[in-house]
Amino acid sequence: MQEKALVIEDLCKTYRSSKNGDVKAVDHVSFDIDKGEVFALIGPNGAGKTTTIRMVATLLKPTSGNILVDGIPVAEKAEKVREVITYLPDEAGAYKSMTGIGYLQFMASLFTADKEKAKEYVDAACSINKLGDRLKDKIGSYSRGMIRKLLLSRAVMTRPALAILDEPTSGLDIINALDIRRMIRSLAKEGMSFLVSSHNMLEIEYVSDKVGIINKGKLLAVGKAQELKQRCGAENLEEVFEKVVSGDEVF
């Protein structure tokens, strides 16, 4: 049996609101990610992508259901899970007063107390982000693309069992976005697993092994991009997305 980097079973998240009553942000969602697989979670705004991702990242507690990361249950052992995951939030920034290298060293020190190991992490990040001498500059002077590269290298430098990337290329120019997609693919080839959220269907087709389409908290379709296109008789993933979300296609 293929080893699983992530298993999500019957996951629910309900927000209590005095104004709108109970709001089901995530409604009985189940899927899994194999080791070395890139899973893309796509859906319209407010579909439940970020809530699902935040639950996997141990930031939010599920109302019900199970999440296992690398076989470790999130509900019982959140701190242990944090040792094997990394999370890159959508439009995340970094500490502007730190230098790029200082930021990587700071983040590495949170993952290991071993200085040698920490240095290994930082070196790995430096070779991934290719920022060179600019790493000695303050992050405040970085462009958006440089910050994203720095953060992505930080997210993968510890070789996590699962890297969670929310909109990894949002706001980036074509060249920077391409660099990052290639980076994800090459790391996946090396065995790293990814849970990615994106609005960019082209990116999803290029980068992901499997796609999950979520809308109004429900996971409506899961499969390889090619399979989904065939099942819907669609030419591209955008058409699949449109048909699934509008309710024309039910899997």
Partner 1 sequence: MKFFSLFKKEVREMLTFQTILSLVFGVLLFIVLGSVMKGVQEDASNQMLEGMGKLAISDQDQSALSQQVLQQMRDQGYQIELLEGSDDEILRAAQEKGYQSALVIPEGFEQGIEKGGEPQKIRLLNEIKGGGMTSLMSGAEGSVEAINDTLSAILIEEGGYEDAAFVRNPVVADEFTYVGDKSVNVSASVLSGLIMMQGIFIPIIVFILVMFASQMTVSAIANEKADKTLETLLCAPVSRFSVLGAKMLAAALVALLQAVVFMFGFRFYMGGMTAGAMEGASGIGTALNTLGLTLGPADYLLVGLQMFLTIMIALCLSTMLGAMANDVKSAQTAVMPIMLLIMVPYFFTLFLDVNTLSGVGKYLLYAIPFTHTFTAANNVMFGNYTVFLGGLAYQAVFFAVLMFLTVKLFNSDKLFTMQLNFGKKKKVAAE
Binders of partner 1 in range 14-43 (CB under 8 A): 15-18, 20, 23, 25-26
Residue among 9, 32, 34, 83 that touches partner 1 (CB under 8 A): 83
Q: How far is CA 24 from the centre of its chain?
A: 22
Nearest Cα to Cα of residue 111 among 75, 82, 89: 82
- The DSSP-derived string for 101-117 is HHHHHHHHHHH-S-HHH
What's the CA gap between 82 and 123, in Å, rounded? Answer: 21
Local structure of 87: helix, strand or coil: strand
User: In this complex, which beta carbon is closest to partner 1, that of residue 67 or of residue 232?
Assistant: 67
Q: Least CB distance from residue 169 to partner 1, whole Å?
A: 16
Cβ neighbours of residue 68 closer than 8 Å, sequence gap 6 or more: 4, 6, 7, 9, 74
Footprint of partner 1 on residues 153-192 (CB under 8 A)? none
CB neighbour list of residue 88: distance below 8 Å, 6 or more residues apart = 151, 152, 154, 155, 163, 164, 165, 166, 168
Q: One symbol per residue from 118 to 157: x for binding partner 1 (CB under 8 A), - otherwise; what is it?
A: ---------------------------------x------
Single-letter code of the amino acid located at 139: I
107 binds partner 1 (CB under 8 A): yes
Closest contact distance (angstroms) between CB of 187 and partner 1 is 18
For the CB of residue 85, give the shortest distance to partner 1 in the complex, in Å. 7
Task: Kindly state whether residue 51 participates in binding partner 1, applying the rule CB under 8 A.
Answer: yes
With H, G, I as helix, E, B as strand and everything else as coil, classify residue 216: coil
Q: How far is the CB of 53 from partner 1 (least distance, A)?
A: 9
94 binds partner 1 (CB under 8 A): yes
Binding mask 211-250 for partner 1 (x = CB under 8 A): ------x---------------------------------
Residue 60 interacts with partner 1 (CB under 8 A)? yes
| Beta carbon nearer to partner 1, 194 or 229 | 194
Interface pick for partner 1 out of 91, 114, 123, 173 (rule CB under 8 A): 91
Dihedrals phi, psi of 6, to nearest 5 degrees:
-145, 135
Write down the H helix ranges in the chain: 49-56, 78-84, 100-111, 115-129, 144-156, 174-189, 201-207, 225-232, 237-246
85 binds partner 1 (CB under 8 A): yes
Which residues bind to partner 1, rule: CB under 8 A?
Answer: 13, 15-18, 20, 23, 25-26, 45-51, 54, 57-61, 79, 82-83, 85-95, 107, 110-111, 151, 217
